[in-house]
Amino acid sequence: MKKYVAALDQGTTSSRALLFDENGRAVASAQEEFPQIYPRPGWVEHDPRDLLSSQFGALRAAMRAGCVAAEEIAALGIANQRETVLLWDKFTGKPVYNAIVWQCRRTSAFCEQLARTHGEMIYSRTGLRTDAYFSASKAKWLLDNVPFARERAEKGELLFGTVDTYLIWHLTGGKVHATDYTNASRTMLFNIHTLSWDEELCRLFGVPMQILPEVRPSGADFGVTEKSLFGAEISVCAAAGDQQAALFGHLCTEEGTGKTTYGTGCFLLVNTGGRALRSQNGLLTTLAASEDRVGRPQYALEGSVFVGGAAVQWLRDGLGLISSAAETEEIAKSVPDTGGVSFVPAFVGLGAPHWDAECRGMLAGITRGTTRAHIVRAALESIALQVFDVVHAMEQDLRAEIARLCVDGGASANNFLMQFQADILGAEIVRPACAETTALGAAYLAGLHAGVYSDVAFLRGQAEEADVFFPQMSSAERAEKLLAWEDALGRTMYRR
């Protein structure tokens, strides 16, 4: 009897694979890292062969670790780094160039110019800011700069895809060229209102429509794997961008529910149901993961904080104030407050909702009495305060209060940070027992499509008990801290 669901979590620096049982519990996992390629300053690439070998190798290792055969796996789901793009030969599968990673800034100048002339049109159709972060300009660069790529694409000899599409094509032996709504919505070529590739946007970026993949719901039929890969065919039943997969992994399937992922940066998504809300506060509108039996997919508001856990890494690697991230919790608790120290970690500017690429970080309020504990505490508080800014913007767009926020990612293990987050938001912070919410979301989507899991209500019933942090800070103290944060932001962003 097939009773396991496999989840591939293809990330920016490593590929992970997890196996979940019929109750949605993780039973085995494996991870393989792969190298980053930096051809020039600001350019980031991956060798596509590394993506395949690390991801397929991780799944084989997880199967060995769990003593699970391919015949026992009912479904496979994929969660992937978003916006990274590839072009490959339609007949051989050989890429024409390295994958251009979402972090790559080689097309920034082009996007800045395009934003001035077409930014409003692009936002109205895609929900995205015109930025090199997204896939369209990367695809244009490949077609313009790889010898014969444009000619071959126009002849229909090449295929375009984000990482999920590339994995699916190779998993199925080239039989399926498809992506899902969530990944398509991050390309800046997809109209999130009509749920189709936009002909005018494709012309604007010079991307031939014949090279684009078919777009399906996140939980859908994406073919079966080649028998030679894992020993037997496995049904590929789901694909979703990593942040939308995490949102589904938290079972945030109802309007107004949301999550924050605390990684190097912080990614916040709130489900807006069937409404594609136009943000008035610097947020993105995107598609949320959904099953094919649901019909029209749901939407989400998204906001990104550029520097989250990276602030703690800087304390360790840049200042040498700590030896590990884990010790920051006790250090922060050793003082009652920051001692008047304010820290704005704008190392690469500020993301949502401020969108100030030029400002830089600031550490202010230092006196002779300032200790490393004050600075460490200020750094942790700065993460939560940046999240507050995004949540506040979301509440303004939603015209509703977000009273409960799910969390995941490495820094969510820090109890001090999670309690301060609850305090500064005046909301409940819910940390699930399973920290692998990205992979869990891919598994949930695949398992639901394959019938391993009956419905979302069943999954809610199976979820292990979570840690919940309740707000304890007084309104007066919260207001005081927010005023100090606003003052620090003003000093950081003031450049005249």
How many Å separate Cα 238 from the centre of its chain? 16
**Per the domain annotation, does 437 fall within a domain?**
no
Bridge-partner residues for 19, per DSSP? 6, 28
Containing structural domain, residue 308: 251-431+466-496
Average pLDDT score over residue span 76-94 = 94
Per-residue confidence (pLDDT) for residue 292, from 0 to 100: 63
Q: Which residues does 186 contact at the CB level (< 8 Å), separation at least 6? A: 82, 83, 128, 134, 135, 162, 241, 286
List the one residue out of 162, 8, 131 whose CA is nearest residue 75: 8
Residues in the chain: 496
The whole-angstrom separation of Cα 429 and Cα 421 is 7
Structure token pair of residue 184: 């398509």
Assign residue 101 the CATH number of its domain.
Answer: 3.30.420.40
Per-residue confidence (pLDDT) for residue 454, from 0 to 100: 86
339 and 228, same domain (yes or no): no
The pLDDT tens digits of the residues spanning 374-384 come to 999 999 999 99
**Angstrom distances, CA of residue 253 to CA of 188, 250, 258, 294, 348:** 24, 8, 9, 11, 33
Q: Residue 370: what residue type?
A: T
At 147, give phi and psi (nearest 5°). -55, 130
Structure token pair of residue 60: 């084989």
Structure token pair of residue 52: 């395949």
- Give all strands (DSSP E) within 263-375, no chain letters: 266-273, 284-287, 299-305, 342-344, 362-364
Give the percent of the chain with pLDDT over 90: 67
**Per the domain annotation, does 406 fall within a domain?**
yes
Per-residue confidence (pLDDT) for residue 355, from 0 to 100: 78
281 and 200, same domain (yes or no): no
The total of other beta-carbon atoms located within 10 Å of residue 213's CB is 23
**Per the domain annotation, does 197 fall within a domain?**
yes
Q: Positive or negative, the Cα torsion across 385, 266, 443, 27?
A: negative
The pLDDT tens digits of the residues spanning 8-52 come to 999 888 899 999 999 888 899 999 988 888 898 888 899 999 999
Per-residue confidence (pLDDT) for residue 132, from 0 to 100: 85
User: Which of the pair, 293 or 178, is modelled with greater confidence?
Assistant: 178
Structure token pair of residue 401: 């209060």
- The CA-to-CA distance between both ends of the chain, in Å, stands at 68
DSSP state of 43: -
Per-residue confidence (pLDDT) for residue 495, from 0 to 100: 55
223 and 338, same domain (yes or no): no
210 and 265, same domain (yes or no): no
Per-residue confidence (pLDDT) for residue 464, from 0 to 100: 76
**Residue matched to tokens 């097939």:** 2
210 and 275, same domain (yes or no): no
Q: Which residues does 151 contact at the CB level (< 8 Å), separation at least 6? A: none
At which of 216, 242, 268 does a domain end? 242
Angle at 239 between CA 186 and CA 142, to 5 degrees: 45
The pLDDT tens digits of the residues spanning 298-322 come to 999 999 888 888 888 888 888 898 8
List the one residue out of 237, 197, 234, 189 whose CA is nearest residue 215: 197
The pLDDT tens digits of the residues spanning 414-464 come to 999 999 999 999 999 999 988 889 999 999 999 999 999 988 888 888 877
**Per the domain annotation, does 149 fall within a domain?**
yes
Q: Residue 74: pLDDT above 90?
A: yes
The pLDDT tens digits of the residues spanning 154-207 come to 999 999 999 999 999 999 999 999 999 999 999 999 999 999 999 999 999 999
Quote the crossing angle between the two packed helices 372-398 and 309-317, to the nearest 10°.
160
92 and 200, same domain (yes or no): yes
The pTM (predicted TM-score) of the whole model is: 0.89
**Per the domain annotation, does 82 fall within a domain?**
yes
**Per the domain annotation, does 329 fall within a domain?**
yes
* Torsion region of 202: left, alpha or beta (phi above 0 gives left; psi -120 to 50 gives alpha): alpha
345 and 480, same domain (yes or no): yes
The pLDDT tens digits of the residues spanning 216-229 come to 999 999 999 999 99
The whole-angstrom separation of Cα 447 and Cα 65 is 21
The whole-angstrom separation of Cα 387 and Cα 382 is 9
> Of the given ranges (209-213, 254-258, 417-421), which has the lowest mean pLDDT?
254-258
325 and 214, same domain (yes or no): no
Per-residue confidence (pLDDT) for residue 319, from 0 to 100: 87
List the one residue out of 187, 143, 148 whose CA is nearest residue 165: 187
**Per the domain annotation, does 458 fall within a domain?**
no
Radius of gyration of the chain (CA): 22
193 and 289, same domain (yes or no): no
Per-residue confidence (pLDDT) for residue 496, from 0 to 100: 40
The whole-angstrom separation of Cα 307 and Cα 361 is 10
**Per the domain annotation, does 446 fall within a domain?**
no
At which of 242, 272, 303 does a domain end? 242
**Angstrom distances, CA of residue 409 to CA of 97, 148, 372, 492:** 32, 42, 25, 27
CA dihedral (277, 283, 289, 295) in degrees, to 10, reads 10
At which of 208, 242, 276 does a domain end? 242
Give the percent of the chain with pLDDT over 70: 98
Q: Which residues does 349 contact at the CB level (< 8 Å), separation at least 6? A: 306, 356, 357, 358, 359, 360
340 and 419, same domain (yes or no): yes
315 and 389, same domain (yes or no): yes
The whole-angstrom separation of Cα 460 and Cα 445 is 13
* Confidence category of residue 295, pLDDT binned at 50, 70, 90: low
191 and 268, same domain (yes or no): no
DSSP string covering 195-255? TEE-HHHHHHHT--GGGSPEEE-SBS---B--HHHHSS--BEEEEEEHHHHHHHHTT--ST
The whole-angstrom separation of Cα 252 and Cα 257 is 5
* Whether the Cβ atoms of residue 245 and residue 392 lie closer than 8 Å to each other: no
**Angstrom distances, CA of residue 433 to CA of 85, 233, 318, 436, 462:** 33, 32, 32, 9, 12
Please state, rounded to an integer, the average pLDDT across all residues of the chain. 91
Structure token pair of residue 479: 């207001």
> Of the given ranges (118-122, 288-292, 360-364), which has the lowest mean pLDDT?
288-292
Q: Give how many domains the chain has, as a whole number.
A: 2
143-167 as b/e: b if 16+ CB within 10 A:
beebeebbebbeeebbbbbbbbbbb
